[in-house]
Structure 1
Amino acid sequence: MTTSHKKCSQMIDLSHTIFDGLITYKGLPAPIMCDYLSREKSKEIYGEDYQVQIGKIEMIANTGTYLDSPFHFAENGKDLSDLSLELLANLPAVLVDVKDQIEIGPESFQHLDVKGKAVLVYTNWSQHWNTEQYFENHAFITKQAAIWLVDNGAKLVGIDTHNIDDTRGKLRPVHKHLLGNDVLICEHMTNLEQLPKDGFRFFAVPPKITGVGTFPVRAFAQIVD
């Protein structure tokens, strides 16, 4: 007599909530959210017994937890509509715990097999989300780390901080090198401390929009026991 064992999966939400007035990146405008058609107004169309709400959002693409495609940094790079689902969903993933480090170099990754995987970088910086501290002296990946990740076959790099690059200057070498080699970026993540080091799958699927390089995602991990 054999006993079958069903695998159990757990979903971990890795995205921040977007709300009216949220500042994701200092200097960029916050989203404006309102009713296009309110429930009260809808009564005039559908009658007293049937109410609907249609929302209206005015929002830049770099809001909340978002995905960067190559088009974000290269005119001829792939935009959101060009990305295959294989790059956005069900990616094997690994977690790098560099909690409380600021400058994250290649030595933080060299013990990992990243080929074909999403590499999620846990810095614990998301604890400062929606505060002034979030924007200042944040953790970042170095250019040398980006080169190592590309050379070793990573498909996506995610981080729970204000920017994957050092924003104290104007240059963005990590964006340029990763996106220039078709390695996607997911920034402003959260809840990475809930993930195991490996053995999980990563999902970060944006809408299929042409001519846009960045957009919010509902990023999440699936852990299968």
Structure 2
Amino acid sequence: MTRRLVELSHRIEEGMTTYPGIPGPVLGVHLSREESKKHYAPGTEFHIGTITLAANTGTYLDSPFHRYPDGADLSGLPLDCLADLPGLVVPCTGTPVIGLDHLRGLDVRGRAVLLHTGWDRYFGTEQYFHGHPYLSGDAAAWLAAEGAALVGIDSLNIDATPPQGERPAHSTLLAARIPLVEHLTGLAALPPSGFRFHAAPPLIGGLGTFPVRAYAVIDG
């Protein structure tokens, strides 16, 4: 049996824009290689870098604390809802709104449900920020009722982003303790099912969102 790993995350780079209004990451150096030579034996050197970034950068995971003050933060999410989840890809390309018609009849219980819109092809361009596909409120309610373990999307936001700022998908899914992963990429490389999904953030207390290295494992 062969095993294949599929990258599902965007590369984080200095100054990148993930979401309008959120500052891009800034890379720095705590200890340069040249400076480190003063502390180690000849021929031995190290680089210790720093990074300042907003939690909503690149491909990231939302925990319930992102939406609710009493919800589980990153450190409160068990690994079994973040890693080694059976995955399911829902094809949603060419549609502005992902509704119940895309989901009815699917077995989502205990699965990472990944909404493949194809919008990731615009990541890094101005078009990515405008007219993106999103999940409807009733579809989010259905996923929560049917027991999805995690929901991901390869788009700017799992909700519509109008000026009034309503976020029914975030509100419903995070209230049900279902983590969200936004700004995925590479979902076209996955089969409809038969793979395992991983997207575990660092174990940080008091933070609701953080970048992840999302990937899939395909056996056979």
Question: TM-score, normalised to structure 2's length?
Answer: 0.97
- 2:172 alignment partner AA: H
- 2:91 alignment partner AA: D
- What CA deviation, in whole Å up to 9, does each residue of 1:9-52 have, x standing for no partner? 11101000001101111101110012111111212222541110
Please say if 1:212 is aligned against 2:170. no
Partner of 2:74: 80
In the comparison of the two structures, how many residue pairs are matched?
219
State the alpha-carbon separation in 2 of the partners of residues 100 and 38 from structure 1.
Answer: 48
State the alpha-carbon separation in 1 of the partners of residues 197 and 214 from structure 2.
Answer: 8
- What CA deviation, in whole Å up to 9, does each residue of 1:103-139 have, x standing for no partner? 1101101121001111000000000001111111101
Partner of 2:185: 190
Question: TM-score, normalised to structure 1's length?
Answer: 0.95
Please say if 1:95 is aligned against 2:85. no
Q: CA deviation at 1:102?
A: 1.0
State the alpha-carbon separation in 2 of the partners of residues 100 and 12 from structure 1.
Answer: 23
Q: CA deviation at 1:90?
A: 0.5
- 2:214 alignment partner AA: A
Unmatched 5+ stretches in structure 2 = none
Q: Secondary structure at the match of 2:86?
A: strand
State the alpha-carbon separation in 2 of the partners of residues 194 and 100 from structure 1.
Answer: 17
1:1-225 pair list within 5 angstroms: 7-169=1-163, 170-225=165-220
- 1:59 alignment partner AA: L
- 2:29 alignment partner AA: D
- What CA deviation, in whole Å up to 9, does each residue of 1:67-105 have, x standing for no partner? 000000000000000111100111011000111211110
Unmatched 5+ stretches in structure 1 = 1-6
Q: CA deviation at 1:149?
A: 0.4
Q: How many percent of aligned residue pairs carry the same amino acid?
A: 47
State the alpha-carbon separation in 2 of the partners of residues 131 and 69 from structure 1.
Answer: 27
Give the aligned CA root-mean-square deviation in angstroms.
0.9
Q: Which runs of 4+ in 1 moved over 6 A?
A: none
Q: Secondary structure at the match of 1:45?
A: coil
- 1:159 alignment partner AA: I
State the alpha-carbon separation in 1 of the partners of residues 28 and 207 from structure 2.
Answer: 23
- What CA deviation, in whole Å up to 9, does each residue of 1:139-189 have, x standing for no partner? 100001101101111010000000000002311110000001111100000
